[in-house]
Structure 1
Amino acid sequence: MTMEGMAAIVTGGGTGIGAAVVRRLAERGVRCVINYANSRDAAEALAAEIGNGSIAVQADIADDAQCRALAKAASDAFGRIDLLVNNAGKTKFANHEDLEALTADDFLDIYRLNAVAPFQMIRACAPAMREGPASAVVNIASVAGVFGNGSSVAYAASKGALATMTKSLARVLAPAIRVNAVAPGYVGTGWFSERMTSEAFDKFEAYIASQTPMAMAAHAEDIAGPIVNLLDPASRVITGEVMLLDAGAHLDVGLSRRPGKG
Structure 2
Amino acid sequence: MSGRDFEGFTVVITGASTGLGRAIAVEVARRGAGLVVVNYARSAEEAQETARLVQAEGSKAVLVQGDVAKDEDCQKIVAAAAPTGRIDALFNNAGMTKFAPNHADLDAVNAEDFLKLYSVNVVGAFQMVRAARALLEAAPSPGAVVNTASIAGVMGNGSSVPYAASKGAMTTMTLSLARALGPRIRVNAVNPGFIDTPWFKNMPEDSMERLRAGAAAATPLKVASTAEDIAGAAVFLASPASRHITGETLLVDAGLHLGGASLSMR
Whether TM exceeds 0.5 here: the answer is yes
1:8-23 correspondence to structure 2 within 5 Å = 8-23=11-26
1:159 alignment partner, one of 146, 150, 167? 167
Match of 2:74 in 1: 67
1:191-202 correspondence to structure 2 within 5 Å = 191-197=199-205, 199-202=206-209
1:39 alignment partner, one of 36, 43, 57? 43
CA shift, 1:204, in A, is 2.9
- Contact 1:22/1:34, CA 8 A, preserved across alignment: yes
Unaligned runs of 5+ in 1: 255-262
Check 1:204–1:172 CA distance in 2 against 1; reply closer, same or farther (3 A cut).
same
Moved more, 96-105 or 156-165: 96-105
2:60 alignment partner, one of 27, 48, 53? 53
Give, in whole Å, the separation in 1 of the partners of 2:54 and 2:113. 36
Does residue 120 in structure 1 map to residue 123 in structure 2? Answer: no
When the two structures are superposed, what TM-score results if normalisation uses the length of structure 2? 0.91
Q: Count how many residue pairs are aligned between Structure 1 and Structure 2.
A: 252
CA shift, 1:56, in A, is 1.0
Does residue 139 in structure 1 map to residue 139 in structure 2? Answer: no
Give CA deviations for 1:105-152 in whole Å, capped at 9, x if unaligned.
111111000000000000000101101122101000011111111111
Match of 1:258 in 2: none
Match of 1:243 in 2: 250
Give, in whole Å, the separation in 2 of the partners of 1:99 and 1:143. 21
Unaligned runs of 5+ in 2: 262-266
Does residue 180 in structure 1 map to residue 207 in structure 2? Answer: no
- Contact 2:147/2:189, CA 8 A, preserved across alignment: yes
Amino acid at match of 2:44: R
Give CA deviations for 1:5-59 in whole Å, capped at 9, x if unaligned.
0001100011000000000000011121000010111111221232121111111
Give, in whole Å, the separation in 2 of the partners of 1:253 and 1:194. 27
CA shift, 1:233, in A, is 1.2
Give, in whole Å, the separation in 1 of the partners of 2:133 and 2:154. 26
Give, in whole Å, the separation in 1 of the partners of 2:260 and 2:132. 41
Does residue 24 in structure 1 map to residue 27 in structure 2? Answer: yes
Aligned-residue Cα RMSD (Å) equals 1.5
Does residue 90 in structure 1 map to residue 96 in structure 2? Answer: yes
- Contact 2:85/2:138, CA 8 A, preserved across alignment: no
Amino acid at match of 1:40: A
Give, in whole Å, the separation in 2 of the partners of 1:253 and 1:9. 34
- Contact 2:62/2:80, CA 8 A, preserved across alignment: no
- Contact 1:185/1:246, CA 8 A, preserved across alignment: yes
Runs of 4+ in structure 1 deviating by more than 6 angstroms, as ranges, are none
Match of 1:221 in 2: 228
Match of 2:264 in 1: none
When the two structures are superposed, what TM-score results if normalisation uses the length of structure 1? 0.92
Amino acid at match of 1:114: N
- Contact 2:13/2:90, CA 8 A, preserved across alignment: yes
Give, in whole Å, the separation in 2 of the partners of 1:97 and 1:207. 20
Give, in whole Å, the separation in 2 of the partners of 1:193 and 1:35. 20
Specify the SS of the correspondent of 1:126.
helix
- Contact 1:44/1:55, CA 8 A, preserved across alignment: no
Amino acid at match of 1:50: V
